[in-house]
Amino acid sequence: MSDQSPIPRLSPHGLKGKSSKDYLVRFAFGASISLIAALISLKYQLFGGMFLAFPAILPASLTLIERDLGTDEARIDAEGAIIGAVGLLAFALVAAFGIKTIGAIPALVAAAAAWLVVSLGIYTAVMAWRAVTTKEPRKAAPG
């Protein structure tokens, strides 16, 4: 990761060269996890939504990333998913406590802001920690 910029960016070039099997695997993982979450919610309504918050496509994506790009890239994506999940927890808490007290629209706006602040805060802290603890000098990003 030392040769990459810490600023996330969208790269549609990664979509090229994927087989239909890759997309089928992602769909099957996502559908299976969603189905399991739905079945859990039929029996235990309190926990159903919590399982639906699991990124359904993450296991398949990490498997394919590891196969195509290596373990380090899969690890980086998994860390990003964890940071995003903690941000979603902040979103859920603000929304859950805010909807009844301040109304749906303001609560959802506040929840989105909480997700953004928490996710960016953790990401910034992780990147700062890595910059301090990395022993090798950072390579300049090409371009």
Q: What is the DSSP letter of 4?
A: S
CA-to-CA distance for 34 and 26, rounded, in angstroms?
Answer: 12
Rounded Cα distance between 141 and 132, Å, is 18
What pLDDT sits at residue 36? 79
Tell me what pLDDT residue 60 has: 74
DSSP for 11-78, please give it: -GGGGTT--HHHHHHHHHHHHHHHHHHHHHHHH-HHHHHHHHTS-TTHHHHHHHHHHHH-HHHHHHHH
The pLDDT assigned to 139 comes to: 57
pLDDT at 2: 45
Q: pLDDT (tens digit, 0 to 9) for every residue of the chain, 143 residues total? A: 445 566 666 666 666 667 777 778 777 877 777 787 778 778 877 666 666 656 666 777 788 888 888 888 888 888 888 898 889 889 988 998 898 999 999 999 999 999 999 999 999 998 888 888 876 555 555 55
**What is the 3-state composition of the chain as percent helix, strand, coil, each rounded to the nearest 5?**
75, 0, 25
